[in-house]
Structure 1
Amino acid sequence: MTANLRDSGNLSAALTEGLGLRLCPWDPDSDADVEAWLRGVTDPEFQRWNTPIVPITDRAGARDSLRTRAIRAAEGATAAFRITDPQSGTPLGHIGFNDIRQAQRIAVIGYWVLPEARGQGVATRALRLAARWGFDELGMHRLELDHAVGHEVSCRVAQKCGFLAEGILRGSIFEAGRRDAFRDAHLHARLATDPEPSAV
């Protein structure tokens, strides 16, 4: 099931399911969602590769972060999905369109997986599902993602999902845990006209 929101501009109600996963919007009013979000963004492996502009250290900060994302989704600027097991409803991680540029038909994707769900192909399946949603429902022509140089796991996920490596973005992201130093990132992208990647 997929909600067609290309014309409505409201991405807060988006829902898509497939490849053994369900993607649905994070709910800032849900204590379970807030707890899962907090665990994800405070996980040491997440923090090794990501430094959020606004630090999140407690439930209040996590709830505020989800509320901000919900507002931006309602405006059509982003779309943030909780990756969920469709049978149990257990949260597995996050995938989101962090920057949707409708005029250019370009969107930027980011993702992370909770520690207990790693090693199961969750990120790969979620990225394939989200990419198809981005092309078919958002009407995007180009999807981009970047990751810190050295993050080989994220690099493999991108490649498996047909996101070709396009180069290095010099000094484009913060160093781990710092906002006064920068590091390079690998840029990957996939076009709507690119061939579909082989099966997971």
Structure 2
Amino acid sequence: MPPIRHRSLTGPPLPELHGHGLHLRPWDPASGADVETWLRGLRDPQFQRWNTPLRPVTDRRSARESLLARAQSAAEGTSISFRVADARSGTALGHVGVNEIKYHTKAARVGYWVLPEARGQGVATRALLLAAHWALMELALHRLELDHAVGHDASCRIAERCGFRYEGTLRGAIFQEGRHDAFRDAHLHARLATDPEPEPAGP
């Protein structure tokens, strides 16, 4: 496992990323503002249309527990979840995560969402470009995977703009909207460290 900067919940600061007009920093479960933003993002109807978390986030308590779990994963080096904010104002815009980091195969999965008021500004594209570059360069990963529900055309376009090539359809790979007893297909995209670097986007 390569050395990384996140060692413990009380250890050195986790990485912060800057670029494309954005500031990415880890979510803070001790911050009331972060908890509120996380709750609002996961309760958004558009998020819930395309995503069905294993453990639903329905109130401040469950939102804080969700962020605590993500902080623990970051401390263990298995994933890191970034709060996406405007670089100038600091206004929260959304989320991007590098998840299921597997150092033995040099692979991970990525995911993202954007708050309703920030959509249509290229936020997800810019955030994914930053996070993917960090994962491939700083963590020395070789492969990043991204999947989304079939029909989520906006997510498909974001993936392709960020150099994640479409690789096929995963049958019954993710939960149906709002259900844990039914499944739907997903499109699989992936980007390799050896792929050409995508053109920068946004400001």
Pick the TM interval, shorter chain.
over 0.9
- Name segments (4+ residues, structure 1) moved above 3 Å: none
Q: Distance in 1 between matches of 2:21 and 2:5?
A: 27
* Aligned-pair CA distance for 1:88: 1.2
| CA offsets 1:117-176 (integer angstroms, 9 cap, x no match) | 000000000011111001111111000000000000000000001100000111010000
Give, as a single letter, the amino acid of the residue that structure 1 aligns with 2:168: G
- Per the alignment, in what secondary structure is the counterpart of residue 178 of structure 2? coil
- 1:24-43 to structure 2, matched below 5 A, reads 24-43=25-44
Structure 1 partner of 2:3: 7
Q: Distance in 1 between matches of 2:175 and 2:156?
A: 18
* Aligned-pair CA distance for 1:87: 1.3
* Aligned-pair CA distance for 1:14: 1.3
TM-score for the superposition, normalised by structure 2: 0.94
Q: Percent identical across equivalent pairs?
A: 63
Q: Distance in 1 between matches of 2:135 and 2:93?
A: 20
Structure 2, unaligned runs of 5 or more: 8-12
TM-score for the superposition, normalised by structure 1: 0.95
Structure 1 partner of 2:133: 132
* Aligned-pair CA distance for 1:114: 0.3
Give, as a single letter, the amino acid of the residue that structure 1 aligns with 2:99: N
* Aligned-pair CA distance for 1:95: 0.2
Give, as a single letter, the amino acid of the residue that structure 2 aligns with 1:88: S
Backbone CA RMSD of aligned residues: 1.3
Give, as a single letter, the amino acid of the residue that structure 1 aligns with 2:95: H
Contact 2:25 2:83 in 1 (8 A): yes
Q: Distance in 1 between matches of 2:103 and 2:200?
A: 29
Structure 2 partner of 1:93: 94
Q: Distance in 2 between matches of 1:80 and 1:158?
A: 18
Matched, 1:46 2:47: yes
Instruction: Kindly tell me the number of residue pairs found equivalent between the two proteins.
Output: 196
Matched, 1:159 2:160: yes
Structure 2 partner of 1:146: 147
Give, as a single letter, the amino acid of the residue that structure 1 aligns with 2:158: V
Matched, 1:61 2:62: yes
- Per the alignment, in what secondary structure is the counterpart of residue 100 of structure 2? strand
Q: Distance in 2 between matches of 1:67 and 1:38?
A: 13
